[in-house]
Amino acid sequence: MMNSMKKTLGALLAAGVLALCSCGPQLPELPVENVKPYFAEAAKTKAIDTAFYEVKDAKGTKLGSVLYSSPYSDNVKGFNGPTPILIIMDAEDRIQNVVLLDNQETPFYAQRVADGGLYSAWNGLTAEEALRKEVDAVSGATYTSNGVKNSLVARLKAYRKQVK
């Protein structure tokens, strides 16, 4: 008797878990405060996937998109490991900012990359244009530069497939 009750309870629990999971995975939210530095009028973010968010104003008008390179570039390495980036795109899907996120790169070299203008090399370009653009590494910070460039390429290739 006890075994049949356990089986029934187990079946009900499994059915309940399946019912909860049938609505699909919950995508993580991106707090509006996190995008305010890039989109002053932001009122709402909408997850497209775990690394792609649309940003909208209070009227629901698309202001742009936020793309995280991870997980698409997790295998891309700089000198000391992965070089995760954030790509900010405007409403016309043109790159506005590229930002190096928390990483293990030596701060001196990461700063050289910033000072060398690498992060702004793609500003104003569409994903297609950015993928075709030849961008030189910053002298003296080649590994970090190549990590950033390759992270951007990996993410934009995935983005291109997501928006087609």
Q: What is the pLDDT of residues 54-96, one digit of tens each?
A: 999 999 999 999 999 999 999 999 999 999 999 999 999 999 9
Specify if 82 maps to a domain.
Answer: yes
* Residue 5 pLDDT exceeds 60: no
| Domain total in the chain | 1
Distance in angstroms (rounded) separating the CA atoms of residues 111 and 15:
53
Q: Letter for the amino acid at 44?
A: K
Specify if 76 maps to a domain.
Answer: yes
Q: Burial code of 54-73, b = ≥16 C-beta within 10 A, e = fewer? A: bbbeeeeeebbbbbbbbebb
Q: State mean pLDDT over 109-114.
A: 95
Specify if 85 maps to a domain.
Answer: yes
* Residue 6 pLDDT exceeds 50: no
Distance in angstroms (rounded) separating the CA atoms of residues 122 and 124:
6
Compute the residue count for the chain.
164
Specify if 19 maps to a domain.
Answer: no
Q: By residue range, what is the domain housing residue 105? A: 29-162
Report pLDDT digits (tens) over 133-156: 999 999 999 999 999 999 999 999
Classify the C-alpha dihedral 36-117-111-94 as positive or negative: positive
